[in-house]
Structure 1
């Protein structure tokens, strides 16, 4: 049996659908198991052991614990979207599966009902990891699954490669102006395809579930055909949204990163990052939804100053892909690097505060089911106020897309005036106060 592990229900369903095409050719039966739906139907399917089992880690561990499924006959293991699977959100479930399979060094004993038969070394499961990115933390986690692995790179550009067929635009933008600019961008897309029978499809990403709801309402109020996808929707609602988007019934889909990994949406020309993700790995996965199979694609991203710590890396990525760089983004990157040079502690504290806020807001229900969603329907003005409160001391408010100067960075690095100190978020002010106290200030 082959076991394929996927990070989300959508990826699991898509993988199983592709695997089922093998049955007429080789007679291989495929079963998929994932959360969000009743177990009974999946248990009936597992009564006849499949040749290919596609699963999400959570549901697989549940069925393993109840003795519904056995992995004793597994000879091949595939970890799809391995960087996501091996992240902290899935580590506990994957460790349970790894122990059951007897893969890797030092695996402790497991219940006999779950343990595979003792196999000679050559019959241990062969493991394959597929990923678009391979940061150091993931490589360390992958070492538990792999032994003297053979590496195959499908791109010369390295782990964070993006097709050169994709045009990327990253625009520095104030938080409260994003709704208006999004509508303008979508109108520009519509005008470019005016007269076509079927309008092009657009996938819009947001970091928070409440933001997905806000953007969905914004577009629906503008009389646009739009669906939404996030981890708090039922499996039936998620399937309906994907079917409507793929079929063209709705040509716009607003989603969290539940749609950002692995999904193959053919003929998707446009991706929009309403919220820029908190790391480049997620950005690469989002951009990867367009420009597939060498088709032309376009990705437009809003970039707020609270993410200035990412600006240098984003500039480097854009240049590496041969894309133009917004002068305001370049200036923001230079200001951040200047802030690091002048006062590394202040700059790092600012980055930590902004990063923690991003991580707190970007948890999707698929990754942490007990995470309570914020009150839905928050206005753009409320989001803008939050962005203003989160602005770093060296960040400069003002007209749209005006990047901070190095003088502003210098003021922030040196502590600045009392008014400037008050503009820092409370968490950052406390960190800086502790740092200064420890240095005898």
Structure 2
């Protein structure tokens, strides 16, 4: 199927072509026409399934037919769980809107940075992408009004609830007009997400996109048995041995992430950490440098990794395993995207062996585990 068959204008089709989108993903094929018809939509799909464009494209199309929003009265509100995802969604909207005849102002707002510049930029905003806490801060400062929102998007609703935003979301719902179009996207459906679907969505078109065998086939997975004290040297050995120019490393704690970065730098490998203790400016700059290829290694914790969307990322390394198989799949799914191959490497200590067996069983895939006893890790 072609994007031209989905009811989008030539301006949007031009942007799609320039961004290199060849054909719509399943969720885009189903969601775009439904949103254009004014339906509420419930989309159950994993991260990396193309859902951002699935709602951004039809929203931009609809906004072309609406009058410009009154000052500080936004027309479209997109709620997201993290700062990184807010910036990613803002970037997608911006890139898709470049050729539209009617200018659409898009703004992302989130905590961790000064509120004053965000308040100043809100004037004339049509599409506001926000984390729940910062949005309520702006409402309390009388910097934004939600009474004229016509389209509400809840992106990664399950993650927002898991991160403890339920109370904030309930407060936001009370500020919105009763008549609006609602689009909810979530990787899972259950509990509080179902409650939101029942109370906020009206006869939604339901779209379920199954995860492709949980793990994209293009990801080449391998694991290495290693003693805990040799994990650092092995990591540096692999980066140098395979000449990795762009690799995302996952650590389970902020402290470990910082330690990895420090030791990589001492060994001449340019690296940066991405976690909650970093300022927003530092996180944005680290991600920018990594995407541009100026930093070889980005070391991230799971929470900070939300919103990292890099096409053609060749390597992901699990320095430490995550607690759940779902998080493992999410981590390694950062590579093998956009129909490009990628490699996922896990460092397995004796204490990790049983947990890694559980992960493999849940994935339904065996991962080759290589010994490292004979590797020369001296000087690393």
TM superposition score normalised by structure 2: 0.70
Cα deviation, 1:326-345, whole Å, max 9, x if unaligned, reads: 499xxxxxxxxxxxxxxxxx
Q: 1:297 aligns with which of 327, 330, 342?
A: 342
Aligned residues of 2:336 and 2:343 also touching (Cα < 8 A): yes
**Cα drift, residue 137 of structure 1:** 4.7
Secondary structure of 2:129's counterpart equals: strand
Secondary structure of 1:276's counterpart equals: coil
Distance 1:188 1:137 in 2: 47
Give 1:170-319 correspondences, 5 Å limit: 170-190=223-243, 200-304=245-349, 306=351, 310-319=355-364
**Cα drift, residue 61 of structure 1:** 1.5
Aligned residues of 2:360 and 2:367 also touching (Cα < 8 A): no
Say whether 1:154 aligns with 2:209: yes
Give the aligned partner of residue 53 of structure 1.
Answer: 128
Say whether 1:11 aligns with 2:85: yes
Q: 2:99 aligns with which of 5, 24, 27?
A: 24
**Cα drift, residue 319 of structure 1:** 3.1
Aligned residues of 1:75 and 1:125 also touching (Cα < 8 A): yes
Distance 2:270 2:228 in 1: 24
Q: 1:29 to 1:285 in 2, by over 3 A?
A: same
Query: Where is the strand percentage greater, Structure 1 or Structure 2?
Result: 2
Q: 1:20 to 1:319 in 2, by over 3 A?
A: same
Say whether 1:79 aligns with 2:163: no
Distance 2:355 2:147 in 1: 45
Distance 1:43 1:219 in 2: 39
Give the aligned partner of residue 367 of structure 2.
Answer: 324
Distance 2:349 2:170 in 1: 37
Q: 1:258 to 1:76 in 2, by over 3 A?
A: same
**Cα drift, residue 220 of structure 1:** 0.7
Structure with bigger gyration radius? 1
**Cα drift, residue 268 of structure 1:** 1.0
Cα deviation, 1:371-418, whole Å, max 9, x if unaligned, reads: xxxxxxxxxxxxxxxxxxxxxxxxxxxx98xxxxxxxxxxxxxxxxxx
Q: Which runs of 5+ in 1 are unaligned?
A: 102-115, 191-198, 329-398, 401-441
Cα deviation, 1:236-286, whole Å, max 9, x if unaligned, reads: 211221121111111111111244223221221001111111112322221
Q: 1:303 to 1:217 in 2, by over 3 A?
A: same
Say whether 1:89 aligns with 2:164: yes
Cα deviation, 1:92-115, whole Å, max 9, x if unaligned, reads: 3222222323xxxxxxxxxxxxxx
Q: Which runs of 5+ in 2 are unaligned?
A: 1-74, 374-380
Moved more, 172-181 or 232-241: 172-181
Give the aligned partner of residue 37 of structure 1.
Answer: 113
Secondary structure of 2:111's counterpart equals: coil
Aligned residues of 2:215 and 2:363 also touching (Cα < 8 A): no
TM superposition score normalised by structure 1: 0.61
Distance 2:283 2:330 in 1: 20
Q: 1:135 to 1:127 in 2, by over 3 A?
A: closer
Distance 1:43 1:66 in 2: 8
Cα deviation, 1:210-253, whole Å, max 9, x if unaligned, reads: 00110001111111111121111112211221121111111111
Q: 1:32 to 1:148 in 2, by over 3 A?
A: same
Give the aligned partner of residue 188 of structure 2.
Answer: 134
Cα deviation, 1:185-225, whole Å, max 9, x if unaligned, reads: 212321xxxxxxxx520011111110011000111111111
Distance 1:89 1:306 in 2: 31
Cα RMSD after superposing both structures: 2.7
Aligned residues of 1:219 and 1:226 also touching (Cα < 8 A): yes
Moved more, 165-174 or 284-293: 165-174
Aligned residues of 2:76 and 2:127 also touching (Cα < 8 A): yes
Give the aligned partner of residue 376 of structure 2.
Answer: none
Moved more, 20-29 or 35-44: 20-29
Cα deviation, 1:69-126, whole Å, max 9, x if unaligned, reads: 111121222222333112143223222222323xxxxxxxxxxxxxx3xx4xxx3331
Distance 2:253 2:156 in 1: 21
Secondary structure of 1:265's counterpart equals: coil
Aligned residues of 2:252 and 2:302 also touching (Cα < 8 A): yes
Distance 2:356 2:184 in 1: 34
Cα deviation, 1:126-168, whole Å, max 9, x if unaligned, reads: 1221x4x31645644554544554332334547xx22111112
Q: Tell me which of the two structures has the higher relative contact order, counting C-alpha pairs closer than 8 angstroms and 6 or more residues apart.
A: 2
Secondary structure of 1:59's counterpart equals: helix
Paired residues, number: 296
